[in-house]
Chains A and B, each alone.
Chain A
Amino acid sequence: MEAFEPTIIAFVCNWCTYTAADLAGTARMVQSPRLRLVRMMCTGMVDPKYVIKALLSGADGVLISGCHPGDCHYINGNYKARRRVKLLNEILTGFGFDERRLKLTWVGASEGNEFAATVNRMVEDIRALGPSEAAAVQAL
């Protein structure tokens, strides 16, 4: 049997973390290829549905990453994202999802190294956790 390799969906904001991801790439930093990036205009527009859909559709983890507090291009989208992640964590952990599967981080546009480190750390964590608790469910 092949070793488990996690699939992680990442929703990253255009202004900070996506730019950092771009920087990490152009600087040829070593990153796990297990992450699928979805570029959003702001973490404040990451609808809880996106996270739920990802986890039900086979993602083993979801990363949401945006600007540091105070740096949001839209003033306060990241604060709203934080409340939504808090809400989602309360809901999902009640049904046995490990809370480490949903992660919110702040990675600024210049922090390419921090982005690569975040990706590698999360892939390690989820690899250790194993496949999503939803993997066995045939109902979406």
Chain B
Amino acid sequence: MPSVARLPVENGNPVRAMQELLRRLLAEDDIVGVFAPRQPPAKGAVMPSLITDPEALASVDPASPSFPVNAAQQVARLTRGDLDGKLIAVLRPCELRAFTELVKLNQGSLQNLIIVGADCHGAFDNDGFRAFMESNGGKPGIDNSADFLRRVSAGEFTAAANGGPALARACRACEHPAPEHADLTIGLFGQDTSRDVLLIPGTAQGEALVSRLGLATSGSGAGRDEALTRIRAERTAYRDAMFEETRAATATPAKLAEYLAACVGCYNCRAACPVCYCRECVFLTDVFAHEPWQYLGWARQKGALRMPTDTLFFHLTRMAHMSLSCVGCGQCSNACPNDIGVMELFRTVAARTQSAFDYEAGRNPDEKPPLTVFHQKEFAEVTGGHD
């Protein structure tokens, strides 16, 4: 167990303590920038930003419950070449796991990167976040986030009680609330975040940073493990119920078609997906620019043809492409204009496919994606026992 440091919190706002940590890190000679979620100047969603000016860190907000985009693709973009130094990336656990998948696919790199993760209580979807902001009385963003941490730690937002905002379903079903293999983890679970938060090094690089910053380390993070175990158990139970519900709702091709009936083929889910890795999506190419006579032929087969076409084809193909890398961040559902339970569907499929290959997306950067490797003797059941 690595030793744990504590970051003191002043004026009851842990976001300021996180900003102070990032300010000290950015002041180091070899750190060229900080990539972190940042409050907008006026109202609106918190967006990932690349920050080089320490002044700008005053609006950084890793604790915000706003989650309009999974930042994995953006971090990947920043790590595809040389940077003349190290970049600090502050990521949610699901962003880190998605980024890990991109690293395995050679679309990002862990070199030149220091990953700071924070314990994640979850986030709202876009509608939920607006409702939360209104219900919290239009305070400045960072104070809102401190309020959020306090209220969510007390068990609020886990269900839409009294018509109030609830955390996104993806977050309520997320059994990975703590960052895995981050260099530094900001520990929030089980802590009185109005007094202090934990800083837990997870790698040698993280340990070196903590000692360079001269932070006092002390034993373990009291209470965090217990809180983590409890949160994981709650979320796993919610997740399993969600899987059961989704399986029943999509148990036949006809039911699946019904589940996806509102899909207009906007492909927002694909654009929002951090692990949809194709540089060019085949569904945007001429392969799907069908001729009029083809539509007519399909219509004649069954007497009627739903248009736009290729709805099931699109979703099933996307499952074949990315379900092995799905981290369950829920951005697909957040991006869907017609409120289809995309996350529920894809997580349910992902649970099946990942377990079939004894694989878990984002678990380990050294694991190979299942479709990039093979063994000579395996899956004999696929070929009726002949291998």
Q: Is the CB of A106 within 8 A of B386?
A: yes
Mark the stretch among B125-133, B145-153, B223-231, B308-316 that contacts chain A.
B308-316
- 8 Å CB contacts to A: which residues of B219-270? 247, 250-257, 260-261
B356 — which chain A residues lie within 8 A by C-beta? 86-87, 90
- A-B residue pair count with CB separations less than 8 angstroms: 120
Q: Is the CB of B309 within 8 A of A87?
A: no
A48 — which chain B residues lie within 8 A by C-beta? 317, 320-321
Check A120 for interface membership: any CB of B closer than 8 A: no
Q: Is the CB of B383 within 8 A of A89?
A: no
Check B302 for interface membership: any CB of A closer than 8 A: yes
A69 — which chain B residues lie within 8 A by C-beta? 376, 387
A103 — which chain B residues lie within 8 A by C-beta? 384
Check B349 for interface membership: any CB of A closer than 8 A: yes
A140-B310 contact given A49-B317, A82-B382, A85-B382, CB 8 Å threshold: yes
The interface size bin for chain A is 35 or more
Check A104 for interface membership: any CB of B closer than 8 A: yes
A52-B371 contact given A82-B379, A91-B349, A95-B256, CB 8 Å threshold: no
Q: Is the CB of B254 within 8 A of A83?
A: no
Mark the stretch among A9-17, A18-26, A31-39, A129-137 that contacts chain B.
A129-137
In the complex, A96→B311 CA distance in Å?
Answer: 17
Q: Is the CB of B349 within 8 A of A140?
A: no
B104 → chain A closest CB, angstroms: 16
A95-B252 contact given A138-B302, A139-B312, A140-B310, CB 8 Å threshold: yes
Q: Is the CB of A83 within 8 A of B301?
A: no
- 8 Å CB contacts to B: which residues of A65-101? 69-70, 76, 79-80, 82-92, 94-97
B312 → chain A closest CB, angstroms: 6
B341 → chain A closest CB, angstroms: 15
Check B374 for interface membership: any CB of A closer than 8 A: yes
With most chain A CB atoms within 10 A of its CB, the pick from B256, B349, B357, B383 is B383
Q: Is the CB of B317 within 8 A of A87?
A: no
- 8 Å CB contacts to A: which residues of B277-313? 282, 298, 301-306, 309-313
A98 → chain B closest CB, angstroms: 11
Q: List 21 A-B contacts (CB under 8 A).
A: A49-B313, A52-B320, A56-B312, A79-B374, A80-B374, A83-B379, A86-B357, A87-B370, A88-B320, A91-B319, A95-B253, A95-B256, A96-B255, A103-B384, A105-B383, A132-B253, A133-B252, A136-B253, A138-B305, A139-B311, A139-B312
Known pairs A49-B317, A95-B251 / 13 extra A-B pairs, C-beta < 8 Å: A52-B317, A79-B374, A82-B378, A82-B379, A87-B356, A90-B356, A91-B316, A94-B250, A95-B256, A96-B253, A103-B384, A137-B257, A140-B312
